[in-house]
Amino acid sequence: MSAPQSGFKAEYACSEGCDFRASLLDVVYRCPRCEGLLEVRHDVAALRSVPAAEWKRRFESRFGSSRLPDGSGVWGKREWAFPQLPVEDIVSLGEGRVPLKPLPRMASELGLSALELKECGVSPTGSFKDWGMTVLVSAVKHMRAKGVPLRAVACASTGDTSAALSAYCAAAGIPAVVFLPRDKVSLAQLVQPIANGARVLSLDTDFDGCMRLVQAVTADTGLYLANSMNSLRIEGQKMVAVELCQDLGWEPPDWVVIPGGNLGNASALGKGFELMLELGLITRRPRIAVAQAQRANPLARAFRGGFQELQPMQAESTLASAIQIGNPVSFRRAVRILKAFDGVVEEATESELANAAARADREGTFTCPQTGVALAALEKLVAQGVIAKGSRVAVVSTAHGLKFADFKVGYHRGTLADVTSRHANPPVQLPANLDAVRAALSDLG
């Protein structure tokens, strides 16, 4: 009934339009001709040979599987990710297939007809990075099986990327190496890679120095580079868009709001919608809003200037540390996506992002500060009339708030710098007697 997976193929192409092509098994990260980023290009004509209704049926049928890889939110749609990959080389931790959490009270207050959070942090390593890393580590497993001499996978990251890389490599039995600046990162930030057995190198340099070293080492010693310029990860991350549409009965929302740092995630979102449009699974383009912290807002600045060239900036310290990036790797592909989806860019101050996160938490979620940036941008775009009243909006929630417990504690204690905690909910101190307790609860219900 199903077409064989091997009937489809994908390859690397230069995303800047030159005619460079390479196999997905080649160890190549940028176009060797023009230095542009690569992208994974699918054989859309072949994919079109399967009717849209059959893709939907196939995806929905696998979605109910208890077994991996079918039950993975990424590999249940594997023909669209890395079609040539043999199923036995898939490294899955059960990523994807995450809740779509409605925020009905916030929707009503903003005058939206729907507002839902795609909870990508309800995931094995606690962030959306799992969606992409499963593709990259599976590709490495396959390359090693094919005899490509890769000894390990490496990245320079202080957060979610190193956690995801380490977990998937641990599951696959592939060594992982994480490069970090000494004294800049706490052990708590690193505890996932450490627990998952990665080789964590603490180096006498800053983050840029780590990036230079990881690139030098991966260029010549059989280490594969897992940083965000790697295009394989986009192929998993784009499934967030596909799963979102599936959740909504294949009817995209009017707007999708997503936090943006290096901008790979925003690019992936657009790539997912593009493929669904090309194959007829959806017929309408949502609009996309990328949300940045005001302290790390190079895309927002470029947007206000009509998308001139990127002006790299020194990002300032922000609570939304995962998107504290001044020179985003995927700037050009994000701009292309924003133009294609009639997109906008909005930014949020520290106080705005912290309050928006706390407001959403009151409806039973536990948002990370990056998701707070997206929610604050949404509030502002509605206030400006850019997002019209009555719109149906989805927000991509990128990590579990459990990764940012200090942010939550500081917010409710009222101790975060530059934040006025409008939704603080401190404990009520009481003597241990029944009358005092009754009195403290007399206003409830």
Binding piece for a second copy, criterion CB under 8 A, among 209-217, 272-280, 305-313, 337-345: 209-217
Residue with smaller CB distance to a second copy, 95 or 346: 95
Residue with smaller CB distance to a second copy, 48 or 105: 105
Q: Minimum Å distance from CB 227 to a second copy?
A: 16
Q: Minimum Å distance from CB 167 to a second copy?
A: 4
The verdict on 282 binding a second copy (CB under 8 A) reads no
User: Is the separation of the CB atoms in 287 and 255 below 8 Å?
Assistant: yes
The C-alpha atoms of residue 175 and residue 152 are separated, in whole angstroms, by 5
Query: What is the dihedral sign for C-alpha 46, 15, 121, 256?
Result: negative
The C-alpha atoms of residue 375 and residue 94 are separated, in whole angstroms, by 27
Binding piece for a second copy, criterion CB under 8 A, among 60-68, 79-87, 293-301, 337-345: 60-68
Residue with smaller CB distance to a second copy, 10 or 416: 416
Per CB under 8 A, the list member of 21, 105, 284, 422 interacting with a second copy is 105
The 8 Å CB, 24+ separation contacts for 59-66 are 59/242, 59/246, 60/246, 63/97, 63/246
Q: Is the peptide bond before 69 cis (omega within 30 degrees of 0)?
A: yes
* Cα dihedral: 80, 40, 332, 323 (round 10): 60
Residue 236 CA, distance from chain mean position: 10
# of chain residues touching a second copy (CB under 8 A): 101
Residue with smaller CB distance to a second copy, 101 or 287: 101
Q: Minimum Å distance from CB 9 to a second copy?
A: 28
Q: Minimum Å distance from CB 139 to a second copy?
A: 16
Kindly state the tokens that stand for 280. Answer: 């007829």
The C-alpha atoms of residue 124 and residue 133 are separated, in whole angstroms, by 12
User: Is the separation of the CB atoms in 44 and 278 below 8 Å?
Assistant: yes
Q: Minimum Å distance from CB 37 to a second copy?
A: 25
* Binding residues for a second copy restricted to 401-440, rule: CB under 8 A: 401-403, 405-406, 408-409, 411-413, 425-432, 434, 437-438, 440
From the list 347, 219, 205, 272, the residue with the least C-alpha distance to 227 is: 219
User: Is the separation of the CB atoms in 90 and 75 below 8 Å?
Assistant: yes
Per CB under 8 A, the list member of 3, 122, 279, 386 interacting with a second copy is 122
Diameter of the chain measured on Cα atoms: 78
Q: What length does the chain have?
A: 445
Per CB under 8 A, the list member of 93, 240, 242, 419 interacting with a second copy is 93
The C-alpha atoms of residue 95 and residue 83 are separated, in whole angstroms, by 18
Per CB under 8 A, the list member of 34, 44, 216, 388 interacting with a second copy is 216
CA angle, 358 as apex, 327 and 400 as ends, to 5°? Answer: 60
Binding piece for a second copy, criterion CB under 8 A, among 56-64, 229-237, 253-261, 317-325: 56-64
The verdict on 7 binding a second copy (CB under 8 A) reads no
The verdict on 370 binding a second copy (CB under 8 A) reads no
Q: Minimum Å distance from CB 331 to a second copy?
A: 27
User: Is the separation of the CB atoms in 324 and 295 below 8 Å?
Assistant: yes
Residue with smaller CB distance to a second copy, 118 or 380: 118
The verdict on 33 binding a second copy (CB under 8 A) reads no
Per CB under 8 A, the list member of 190, 256, 258, 266 interacting with a second copy is 190
Binding piece for a second copy, criterion CB under 8 A, among 18-26, 46-54, 124-132, 277-285: 124-132
Residue 61 CA, distance from chain mean position: 25
Per CB under 8 A, the list member of 170, 275, 323, 378 interacting with a second copy is 170
The verdict on 198 binding a second copy (CB under 8 A) reads yes
> At which residue do the structure tokens 């609009």 appear?
287
Strands 21-22 and 10-14: antiparallel
Binding piece for a second copy, criterion CB under 8 A, among 20-28, 64-72, 299-307, 345-353: 64-72
The C-alpha atoms of residue 163 and residue 179 are separated, in whole angstroms, by 12
The C-alpha atoms of residue 66 and residue 358 are separated, in whole angstroms, by 34
Site string for a second copy, 225-244 (x = CB under 8 A): ------------------x-
The verdict on 177 binding a second copy (CB under 8 A) reads yes
Q: Minimum Å distance from CB 329 to a second copy?
A: 22
The verdict on 152 binding a second copy (CB under 8 A) reads yes
Q: Minimum Å distance from CB 332 to a second copy?
A: 30
Q: Minimum Å distance from CB 11 to a second copy?
A: 26
Query: What is the dihedral sign for C-alpha 53, 57, 58, 63?
Result: positive
Kindly state the tokens that stand for 235. Answer: 């192929």
